[in-house]
Amino acid sequence: MERKKGMRRRQSVWGKSGALLALLGLLSGCGYGFSGGGSVLPAEVKNIYIPMVTNNTTESTLTPVITEALRDRFDRFGAVTVVDSYDAADAVLEVKVLKVKRGTRTSVAGTDAALQLDTQLTLFGELRQVDGSLLWLEPEISVTRAFGNTRSAVVASSADFANSTLGSSDLSGLTQRELSRNQEQEALTQLADVAAKRIYDAAVSPDF
């Protein structure tokens, strides 16, 4: 009896495994793939050139930050290769920083003092083959992130703070303005990474 139960359990496991493999095979045949493991681009598009982004704002530091985030994201998974020149490319990704918008998320009750601020980054993205054929276009890509504007609003134990360039001991040595500016720069860097992922997922990754 125990042996028969064991056989039934093994058959059940193998049955589920076989069904899963069959499903994966079916999805693969339909053109689906996992994030990072495929591309919706034409087979001939293997090399992509990503020039420095065009920046229509006064935030000059965004130009190298977003450009590097894009190059890293597109080169990371191996679906395409990021090349250093237009001549070596099959397609070109053009990205423009359209605007940076700031707003208050939370404030001290009864005052105008902001505890947390929102920074919204809006970009334009376009991927074209070198012959001019349009592969992907998104006129407005918006990503938003909040950051603490006062020491009381900066949570030193949070994951965002742990990934920042500040340490807990640094907070007391910064003026209010320095703290706010530092936190916003961290938010912009994180927004660049989020935007790069959004662009890559929309332009390259297959839907699943």
pTM reported for the whole predicted model: 0.65
Q: What is the DSSP letter of 100?
A: E
Q: Encoding tokens for residue 190? A: 């994180």
Q: Give the distance between the most distant pair of CA atoms in the chain.
A: 77
How far from 102 is each of 98, 165, 190, 199, CA to CA, in Å? Answer: 14, 22, 15, 22
User: Which of the residues in the chain have pLDDT under 50?
Assistant: 5, 9-10, 12-14, 20-21, 23-36, 106-114, 149-174, 208
Q: Which residue has the tokens 């045949």?
A: 29
The CATH T-level fold of domain 40-203 is Double Stranded RNA Binding Domain (3.30.160)
Domain limits of the chain?
Answer: 1-32, 40-203
Q: What is the DSSP letter of 179?
A: H
Residues pairing with 47 in the sheet: 81
One DSSP character per residue, 34-65 reads -TTS--SS-TT--EEE-PPPEE-SS-TTHHHH
pLDDT at site 51: 98
Q: Encoding tokens for residue 145? A: 């992130």
pLDDT at site 102: 80
End-to-end alpha-carbon separation of the chain, Å? 43
pLDDT at site 113: 41
